[in-house]
Amino acid sequence: MANQTEVKKYLAHWFQLGKKVVIGSKGIYLLPQPIFQGDRYSKEFEECWQKISSSASDCYLEGTNETIAELLTPAWEMLPCSRCLMPIAMRNVGMPALLCPCSNLPNWPNTELPNPRCPVTDKEHLKTICDRLLENLSPARY
């Protein structure tokens, strides 16, 4: 089952590639900028999420057919796309979604660009890098 945290992560990844959320009945397209502020989602992203949450049954990610409300039911989960490794919605039972949202992105996947990401805590990330570097500096033990 996809929970609210997983759906937000899914949307944040696709927002980084320029995909928008469509509120169908109102003809509104949402693409918050910036998506992150430090180690959390930005105020703009959270405001966008509130709009999506209030219209979830009428919202969907551009290039998909599943509404956000459907994705929040037990029938769906977020898994990596076999083509581009981006998170996509997959049904637990029954037929899978027809397309990955990457299907209409020109030049994607692009291995020469960094992949979209989740918010990162800078201190933790830098500590991990330092630890790896220190491991490489240690003399090999035989």
Span 41-73, pLDDT tens digits? 999 999 999 999 998 889 999 988 899 999 999
Which residue is listed with tokens 């397309």? 99
Q: What is the pLDDT of residue 98?
A: 62
Residue 73 covered by a domain: yes
The answer on pLDDT for 101 being more than 90 is: no
In terms of Cα–Cα distance, which of 68, 105, 51, 52 is closest to 83? Answer: 105
Q: What is the edge-to-edge ordering of all strands in the sheet holding 28-30?
A: 28-30, 21-23, 59-61
Q: Residue 112 belongs to what H/E stretch?
A: none
Domain extent for 112: 4-137
Reading the block at residue 112, the tokens are 């020469």
Does this model's pTM top 0.95?
no
Q: What is the pLDDT of residue 113?
A: 74
Structural domain tally of the chain? 1
Query: Is the Cβ–Cβ distance between 42 and 48 less than 8 Å?
Result: no
Residue 118 covered by a domain: yes
Q: What is the pLDDT of residue 41?
A: 94
Other C-beta atoms lying within 10 Å of the C-beta of residue 128: 10
Residue 142 covered by a domain: no
Residue 88 covered by a domain: yes
